[in-house]
Amino acid sequence: MSAAKKKPPDFGVALERLVHEPARLKIMAYLYMVESADFVFLISRTGLTMGNLSAHMSKLEKAGYIEVEKEIKNNRPHTMLSLTAAGRKAFESYRSDLQQILGDL
């Protein structure tokens, strides 16, 4: 059997890829700990660029995991982000899957 056809090890649980990606995981972890945070806060804390953050934000919004609230504040665009109930549940389920995988190590 060639190496390319080898299956990855089966841990018994599957981690959700949308949440598992490191940048999205960071965004979701920060949003999980607060009610909402703005775009600038997530840039300062995650170290992502605006383009990167926007791209990940779109994916999470499309999946229904985050809610994006755009407003104009002092004549400038201001974006607040928060986890939806589905996003909160997805993050909690990701945490418990990860604990299940790593728990016995």
Q: CB–CB of 60/27 below 8 Å?
A: yes
Amino acid at 26: K
Min separation Cβ 9 and other proteins, Å: 20
Using the rule CB under 8 A, is 58 a contact of other proteins? no
Q: Which range touches other proteins (CB under 8 A), out of 1-9, 12-20, 60-68, 96-104? A: 96-104
Task: Provide the mask over 4-43, with x wherever binding to other proteins is found by CB under 8 A and - wherever it is not.
Answer: -------------------------xx--xxxxxxxxxxx
Using the rule CB under 8 A, is 99 a contact of other proteins? yes
Using the rule CB under 8 A, is 68 a contact of other proteins? no
Question: Which residues make Cβ contacts (< 8 Å) with residue 25, sequence separation at least 6?
Answer: 19, 94
- How many CB atoms neighbour CB 81 within 10 A? 22
Q: With CA atoms as reference, report the closest residue to 32 among 104, 102, 103, 92.
A: 92
- Footprint of other proteins on this chain (CB under 8 A)? 29-30, 33-45, 49-50, 76-80, 95, 98-99, 102
